[in-house]
Amino acid sequence: MPAAKVKSPEAQGAEAPYPKPAYAWYVLLLLTVVYVFSFIDRQILNLLVGPVRRDLGLTDTQMSLLMGFSFALFYTGFGIPLGRLADAHSRRTIIAAGFVAWSLFSSGCGLARTFTQMLLMRMGVGVGEATLSPAAYSLLTDYFPPQRRATALSVYGMGIYIGSGLAFLLGGVVTGWSSKQEEWLLPAVGAVRSWQLVFLAVGLPGVALALLMYTVKEPARRGAGGASAIPLGEVLRYLRANWKTYFCHNVGIALLSFSSYGSAAWIPSFFVRTHGWTAAETGKIYGVLVAVFGALGIVWGGWLADRWSARGSKDAAMRVALMVAVGWIPTGIAYLVVPDGRMAMALLAPTVFLVAAPFGIAPAAIMQVTPARMRGQASSIYLFVINLIGLGIGPTAVAMVTDYGFGDDAKVGTSILIVTVSAHMVSCLLLWAGLKPYVRSQEQAKEWMAARSEG
């Protein structure tokens, strides 16, 4: 009697039932809350430009390094090795440890007294946050079937806009405090400025909330393949074989990120300098707008991509990203050139909605063209590219055009216009060029996993 054929780990993982939908949604909502905290800690500095710049004696360019490059350099640099860990080890533990780390470093920003101290704390926040998204993308891919994946990852991506919106709201509140009370006396710390109190208030709760990650169960890895991650060399060979897909996707989305981060870092200053608004009122209104329209936009993008995919469109994720990148251009120009501040803020609503839409479907697109055991590393490379270009360079690009191109703080709106529109134009060309290679790469991913399963 012939021996029964033992199924490979890949086949067993592929056939394992998905977790119950209710529990999968619990995990998704928990990860979204963690993502919200990460973006509050990441973006809170954007509305505190005035008081931080004043107290530390900084230029716009130095502020941009704190907002973007110092964070992004370490966020991206540590992302790839941490993504490799996510492909082989407990993803919930990786996220929990990172949550504690970035919360402590964010609190440390509230104790900074010099540019160098603030720079080091922002670097630490970047290292801690590098643990989150590669592991979260991998978890959610194993919790949700392909036909719901873009929507799930878009709901997770809501954390970007809810967190950013809350950061602007908190920043608006603190500038209101600053006008009434410049310093606060804290036990064991002493006198702190209002902006320093905000860093302490948003950072410390994360240390306790990290424990909630241990309510998450590790799901079966689909198409896994052993207990160890695929070697980085093999991942890079696969990426090279599909270079057109990954290049057009990663760089195309990175340029949209470049536009998004570059504008978001300086929009509060634009309203203060150009329209004469106070930082407090700008933060409150812009914060609500980002939280509401950004969250709606990113979920709508995921829903639309899943809908088109269900109708048979194999390039739905890339096509939706291309469509919204083109659709952004009219309002992305208009809010910067209209003469009235209220009209400019109204035009930001559709602008934020459209700029948010690609950032849930973009990681879903990576999952669709990447073999399962490579997904943590592939998503880390994606995050490396979009954050180094977007967060690392975007805010500084706007600041340098203002400081060295115009030499006039009042020209920040024109700087935003030049940087963002240029980025969108190139992004549209790349996303269009990537449509056909993206479809071919889906088939190659299936062939790679089938060959490894048989082996």
Structural domains of the chain sorted by starting position, each given as residue range(s) with its CATH number in brackets: 17-212+229-454 (1.20.1250.20)
How confident is residue 4, by pLDDT bands cut at 50, 70 and 90?
very low
Tokens of 352: 């934020």
Q: Angle formed by the axes of helices 358-369 and 132-143, to 10°? A: 70
How confident is residue 297, by pLDDT bands cut at 50, 70 and 90?
very high
The answer to whether the beta carbons of residues 10 and 452 sit under 8 Å apart is yes
Pairwise CA distance, residues 106 & 97, whole Å:
14
The answer to whether the beta carbons of residues 384 and 378 sit under 8 Å apart is no
Residue with tokens 């400025």: 193
The predicted pLDDT at position 145 comes to 86
Hey, what amino acid is at 31?
Answer: L
Lowest mean pLDDT among 9-13, 141-145, 260-264: 9-13
Residue with tokens 């890339």: 318
How confident is residue 6, by pLDDT bands cut at 50, 70 and 90?
very low
The predicted pLDDT at position 261 comes to 87
pTM attached to this predicted model: 0.76
Per-residue pLDDT, averaged over 341-361, amounts to: 94
Tokens of 254: 């990175």
The predicted pLDDT at position 179 comes to 58
Pairwise CA distance, residues 252 & 326, whole Å:
12
Per-residue pLDDT, averaged over 169-177, amounts to: 70
Q: Angle formed by the axes of helices 279-289 and 341-356, to 10°? A: 40
Give me the residues paired with residue 183 across strands. 193
Between 261 and 452, the more confident residue is: 261
Lowest mean pLDDT among 174-178, 243-247, 315-319: 174-178
Q: Among 272, 323, 275, which residue's Cα sits nearest to residue 300?
A: 323
Cα angle 366, 218, 216; round to 5: 105
How confident is residue 192, by pLDDT bands cut at 50, 70 and 90?
confident
Tokens of 367: 């999952």
Give residue 20's region: left, alpha or beta (phi > 0; psi -120 to 50).
beta
The predicted pLDDT at position 436 comes to 95
Give residue 265's region: left, alpha or beta (phi > 0; psi -120 to 50).
alpha
pLDDT of 353-373, one tens digit each?
999 999 888 988 988 898 877
The predicted pLDDT at position 455 comes to 54
Tokens of 118: 């603030």
Pairwise CA distance, residues 130 & 152, whole Å:
20
Per-residue pLDDT, averaged over 181-196, amounts to: 73
**Helix or strand or coil: residue 389?**
helix
Residue with tokens 């592991």: 135
Is residue 191 over pLDDT 80?
no
Lowest mean pLDDT among 72-76, 317-321, 385-389: 72-76
How confident is residue 224, by pLDDT bands cut at 50, 70 and 90?
very low
Q: Among 96, 352, 325, 324, which residue's Cα sits nearest to residue 210?
A: 96
DSSP state of 89: S
How confident is residue 70, by pLDDT bands cut at 50, 70 and 90?
confident
The predicted pLDDT at position 229 comes to 60
Lowest mean pLDDT among 1-5, 298-302, 392-396: 1-5
The answer to whether the beta carbons of residues 91 and 64 sit under 8 Å apart is no
Q: What whole-number percentage of the chain has pLDDT above 70?
A: 91
> Burial code of 107-128, b = ≥16 C-beta within 10 A, e = fewer?
bbbbebeebeebbebbbbbbbb
Residue with tokens 């509140």: 173
The answer to whether the beta carbons of residues 159 and 39 sit under 8 Å apart is yes
Sign of the C-alpha dihedral computed for residues 167, 79, 153 and 443 taken in this order: positive
Lowest mean pLDDT among 26-40, 62-76, 126-140: 62-76
pLDDT of 363-418, one tens digit each?
889 888 988 778 777 888 888 898 889 878 888 899 899 988 998 889 999 999 99
Is residue 170 over pLDDT 50?
yes
Q: Among 391, 382, 346, 329, which residue's Cα sits nearest to residue 164?
A: 391
Q: What whole-number percentage of the chain has pLDDT above 90?
A: 40
